[in-house]
Amino acid sequence: MSRLEEKLEKGLKFTGIEITEEQKALLLNFIRLMDKWNKTYNLTSIRDVEQMVDKHLIDSIVVSEYLKGSTFIDVGTGPGLPGIPLAIINPDKNFYLLDSQSKRVNFIKQVKREFNIKNIFPILGRCENFENSQANPVHFDGILSRAFASLKDMLSLCGNMADQDTLFLALKGQIDTAELSEISDEYKIININKLKVPQILGERHLIVIGKNNG
């Protein structure tokens, strides 16, 4: 077993997440390709591929148990985080991956082609300019974010993607009560879930927000 495989196994054991051997291999191939592209295209600030196991893979897939529904959009996805790891371990769900930088979207397209991941859909663009197809609109059960500056910005910029039943799923570190207080009355906090992650990641939480029914 390679060092990467050992690190992934350790992370999975710590979090209690069970996935198939094929999914484990696909997750590791994903970060190996990211590491390769990163040398030229600067996709992520993490340069050590072993650190990517915890900081990219484990940090993404711990959200999986909170995904209710079948269709999600990962906004500001960067090189496909958390969307691609979640898509790999949830082949029954669809993930739209939105980013404003073409180099990142091109990388996601390469991942889709090279590993034949059929349930990811790369989109080049900005959240506030996103337009759903009028002929065949997509209902998003959840809007995922891992790197937004604030909850207020996420709700403001991504509100056009949501209908009354869409949930906002924000992956955060420590809970900032001031940030929570900035959420407008249009929205309500449904849950704050503390995530079980390796110590290297510090505190991690998933904040679930929905629209108020008035």
Q: What residue ranges do the domains of the chain occupy?
A: 65-211
Average pLDDT over residues 95-108: 97
Average pLDDT over residues 53-75: 97
pLDDT > 90 in the chain, percent: 91
Average pLDDT over residues 154-179: 94
CB neighbourhood size of 42 (10 A):
11
Which stretch of 38-52, 130-144, 171-185, 194-208 has the lowest confidence by average pLDDT? 130-144
Q: Is 81 annotated as a binding residue?
A: yes
pLDDT band at 118 (very low <50, low <70, confident <90, very high): very high
Q: Is 128 annotated as a binding residue?
A: yes
CATH class of 65-211: alpha beta
pLDDT at 214 over 80: no
Alpha-carbon distance of 156 to 127, in angstroms, equals 10
Average pLDDT over residues 48-60: 96
Average pLDDT over residues 23-40: 97
pLDDT at 134 over 70: no
pLDDT band at 137 (very low <50, low <70, confident <90, very high): confident
Q: Is 76 annotated as a binding residue?
A: yes
pLDDT band at 135 (very low <50, low <70, confident <90, very high): low
How many helices and strands, by DSSP H and E, does the chain display? Answer: 8, 7
Tokens of 177: 């009560």
Phi and psi at 61, nearest 5°, equal -75, -15
Give the mean pLDDT of the chain. 94
CA 129 distance to own-chain centroid: 20
Beta bridge partners of 171: 206
Sequence-ordered list of residues with C-beta below 8 angstroms from that of 50, at least 6 positions apart, any chain? 3, 4, 7
